[in-house]
A and B are shown apart, each in its own frame.
Chain A
Amino acid sequence: MSATEQPDRRAFLKSLGTVGATGVAAIVSTDAAAEPQAAAPAAGAAAAAGPGTADTTRAYSYLSPPDAAFVEAAVDRLIPADDLTPGGTDCGVATFIDRQLGGAWGSGDRLYMQGPWQKGSPTQGYQSPLSPAQFFTAGVAATNAHCKTTYQKEFDRLTREQQVTVLQGLERGTISLGTLSSQQFFDLLLSLAMQGFFADPLYGGNRDKVAWKMIGFPGAIAIYSEHIKTYRNKKYDVEPTSIVDLS
């Protein structure tokens, strides 16, 4: 179905706009994964990460339904499903991004926020008056505006090929997002997606340690004094352990 339009998840999410957050979580997760009814998102990270436990993959506490639809589509293009891993959303990467944006980091808890503001040179780094979460949300809105102008649809409703074209345009800076740097927005999106894919499953991404299994990273136990010589030029094949597993 690569050239066809994505399932209309956006309209579905919008139709749920009046339902409370728990209700959305329950309905969406049932719909998405055909698993038993999800517990409330408050069930926590451990529940989200453990196989066979409650599925909060598509329960969002920060992202609005249209923003969530954007993020899911974007992380599925950045981290596409293949024989190595499921797609980004099914790996929990959209959940991860939602939690990061809604948490202390997203609100810029360690960001120097005082003005005056100037664009500066790239070597001077981040100079936006927006918090990371605000910057991200503005980037999503601006990208969707670009997609509406160019394709008459929002990003999540484009074909996969169109979505890839848009992401490449952001990455290369060939798409203008007005006052926002498209490359800076893309770098934020990509870095969050990679963090979510590779971080400990504690944070909602890297479900079932798929990314660690993919590359051969053994995770949290990490006591290797006896292995340097034993595994010289030899793969260390173990089931990875996460903080969740050890907690």
Chain B
Amino acid sequence: MATRLKEVDVVIVGLGWTGGILASELAQAGMTVVALERGAMRSTNPDFSIPLIRDELRFATRHGLMQNTARDTLTFRNRQSETALPMRQLGSFLPGEGVGGAGVHWNGVTWRWTTIDHAARTHYEQRYGKGFIPPDMAVQDWPMTYAELEPFYDRFERTAGVSGKVGNLRGQPQPGGNVFEAPRDRDYPLPPLQQNYAQELFDNVSREAGYHPFPRPSANASRAYTNPDGSRLGACVYCGHCERFGCEANAKGSPHITVIPLAMARSNFELRTHSWVTKVQLDSTKRRATGVVYTDVTTGEEYEQPASIVALCAYAINNVHLMLLSGIGTPYDATAQRGVIGRNYCYQPGGGGVTLFFEDKIFNPFMATGAFGTTIDDFHANADFDRKLMGGIGGATITVGQSNGRPIGYRPVPAGTPRWGAEWKKATAKWYLRAMNIGVTAGNMPNRYNAYDLDPTYKNVFGQPLLRLTYNFLENDKKVVAYGGQRAAELARRLNPTSMTGPGTLGDYSIVPYQSTHNTGGAVMGASPKDSAVNRYLQSWDVSNVFVVGASAFPHNSAYNPTGPVGALAYWTADAIKNRYRKKPGPLA
């Protein structure tokens, strides 16, 4: 029997970026807030201190800061005709665990999404005709405009200390920035990071080719910075231990050094770690949540935390899982095309990148930051880029970055080199310093069969059904990746490398190799409960005192990393709770 605790105004499930932003905003507004985090407490010192944080095996290879699949995972299949099997260990993506969540171990790439992303169906239908969108592609508009979200993007960039260069200042193109970006009201809070040699080569050659290179916006602070809340960030030291690690220099914009301490400073906020929420409790009408049930995983004791508002701020995947386990909204049925919870799962197809090898160049790949890079957006944010050339919807960004040169994971060798033995060793010794990569990131449009539901067979450690993911790359993805790969290869050839590998082609999606932790959708936002789980304030259409915050709300995936809009939407939702819902509880749309 669960122990019933004292009711609070807000219970937050998961304390990463979104939970941290809501906790900070709502606690400062005077609401009583309890955050339940399934993992442990984490602090820069001592958890990310030198030398222990420089351990590639522990943190990068063995996933030291990530969710433990022994307790909870999902099942996966490429298509409905197959039996989904458990993802028995992490691979393709790496959800975080512990205070700060994935906001601790992310790279820091912080985009504002494009005006096209905000109105995807409208844009493609108007520009290319309704027939251009395949019938199974469930692309839909966001329920708020870019202009509405702009101040919240700005707020997040300032909180996280984003380094970058404005490219579109209130409609005026700014040389050196991304001239295709949506209009910004002001520049980034910090100047761009330094450019490395590979980025310089790419910058020059893409400019010669007529494209528009710019420094990729990065929450790796280019200099020491105090954010508007008074949180202090250090300057990035280019250590090459960013993604999958915590930052010992506090130079990576992370919730555990920004928003979470703000909440912790308030007596009306309480954090409970090792607290695993198994269910949102609904009343008999199923239209109102009364709180959540959680287990203290250090004792096995079960508790009931009553609350007026439940905010699901877990990783995108786990938000959807909790909704399905709790019976919030109607589960999506891909065959019947009924229901909404679980639809529009998207990911990010890779494979279009090329690696260049130069006899006469040294790149020092270990001098790296999570997010620094030089990008061209001519085939993605650029609305004038004719998608008919690509034969598909969406687009691809092309980037030279260098997030690490850590040798267990990063050992480029030319095509045809054996994977072991004397020849492999000679090639590894020769090329480690002499290779650079041009990466291609493609957007991903939703398809009616790419979706989540509950698995009929497999259970987690609490005996609850695992989430089941049915997902594959489709024709549109193959076209976008192929087009991006061809452009990357053209640019690579202009650099006259000694040899190059790639671009690859896209086959079936595999859950095994790491690709990105950019899992989106499943509890998507929209203008109507017919095709969305949450309204424009990320409020459940069905249970109006439940808010579901994070990339689970994205109706499709961009060719950009997700954290920019994740942060912006968290501030937007916090604002709606503080200034709208609190005054008049009930449906906000």
CA distance A213 to B84 in the complex (A): 45
Closest chain A CB from B85 CB (angstroms): 4
Q: Tell me whether B55 is interfacial, beta carbon within 8 Å.
A: yes
Q: Which residue of A is nearest B428, CB measured?
A: A215
Q: How far is the CA of A173 from the CA of B334 in the complex (A)?
A: 37
A75 to chain B, nearest CB (A): 10
Indicate if the CB atoms of A199 and B194 lie closer than 8 Å: no
Q: How far is the CB of B224 from chain A (nearest CB, A)?
A: 11
CB <8 Å contact, B69 and A235: no
- Taken residue by residue from 39 to 76, chain B's Cβ proximity to chain A (1 for < 8 Å, 0 otherwise) reads as 00000000000111011110001110000111001001
Residues of A within 8 A of B54 (CB): 200, 219-222, 243
Whether A9 is near chain B, meaning CB under 8 Å from some CB there, is: no
Known contacts A110-B63, A123-B509; is A224 also within 8 Å of B57 by CB?
A: no
Contact B407 A211 (CB under 8 A): yes
Within 8 A of B (CB), among A139-194: 164, 167, 171, 190, 193-194
A78, A116, A125, A211 pick with most chain B CB within 10 angstroms: A125
Alpha-carbon separation in the docked complex, A78 to B421 (Å): 5
* Contact mask for chain A residues 190-226; partner B; CB cutoff 8 A; 1 contact, 0 none: 1001110011101100000001101111111111110
Complex interface: stretch among B230-238, B335-343, B496-504: B230-238
Shortest beta-carbon distance from B165 to chain A in Å: 17
Residue of B nearest to A195 (CB): B408
Q: How large is the interface on A (under 10, 10 to 19, 20 to 34, 35 or more residues)?
A: 35 or more
0/1 string, A69-103, CB within 8 A of B gives 1: 00000000111101011000000000000000000
Q: Measured between alpha carbons, how far is A164 from B421 in the docked complex, in Å?
A: 9
Partner of A199, one of B77, B195, B408, B458: B408
Q: Which of B192-223 contact A (CB under 8 A)?
A: 194-197, 200
Is B511 an interface residue, CB under 8 A from the partner?
Answer: yes
Q: Are B367 and A231 in contact (CB under 8 A)?
A: yes
- Is the beta-carbon distance between A222 and B57 smaller than 8 angstroms? no
Find out whether the CB atom of A225 lies under 8 angstroms from the CB atom of B235: yes
| Chain A residues with CB below 8 A from B56, complex form | 198-200
Question: In the docked arrangement, what's the CA distance between A234 and B196, Å?
Answer: 12
- A203 and B57 in contact, given A82-B425, A126-B88 (Cβ under 8 angstroms): yes
Q: Is A19 an interface residue (CB 8 A)?
A: no
**Contacting residues, chain B, for A222 (C-beta < 8 A):** 54, 237, 239-241, 366
Contacts of A113 in B (CB 8 A): 70, 88
Grouping DSSP codes into helix (H, G, I), strand (E, B) and loop, the B interface class, with mixed when no group exceeds half, is loop
> Within 8 Å of chain A (Cβ to Cβ): is B516?
no
Complex Cα gap A117–B512 (Å): 17
In whole Å, how far is B201's beta carbon from the nearest beta carbon of chain A? 10
Contact assessment for A127 and B88 in the assembled complex, using a CB-CB cutoff below 8 Å: yes
A123, B425: Cβ atoms closer than 8 Å: no
CB nearest neighbor in B for A77: B421
A167: nearest chain-B partner, CB-CB: B420
In the bound complex, how far is the Cα of B406 from the Cα of A200, in angstroms? 11
Determine the chain B residues whose CB is within 8 A of the CB of A190 once the complex forms. Answer: 419-420
Q: Indicate if the CB atoms of A123 and B420 lie closer than 8 Å.
A: no
Contact A110 B69 (CB under 8 A): yes
Q: At the interface, yes or no: B104 with Cβ under 8 Å from chain A?
A: no
**A122 contacts partner chain B, Cβ-Cβ < 8 Å:** yes
Q: Contact at A224–B367, with CB atoms within 8 Å?
A: yes
Min distance, Cβ A204 to any Cβ of chain B, angstroms: 11
Contacts of B63 in A (CB 8 A): 110
B78 at the interface (CB under 8 A from A): yes
Contacts of B420 in A (CB 8 A): 77-79, 167, 190, 193
Name the 6 nearest CB pairs between A and B, nearest first.
A215-B432, A246-B51, A220-B54, A222-B239, A123-B510, A224-B367
- Give me the interface of A with B, judged by CB distance under 8 Å: 77-80, 82, 84-85, 105, 108-114, 116, 118, 120-127, 164, 167, 171, 190, 193-195, 198-200, 202-203, 211-212, 214-225, 227-229, 231-236, 243, 246-247
> In the complex, given contacts A198-B407, A235-B362, what are 7 additional A-B residue pairs having Cβ atoms less than 8 angstroms apart?
A78-B420, A82-B422, A82-B425, A223-B239, A232-B197, A233-B361, A236-B364
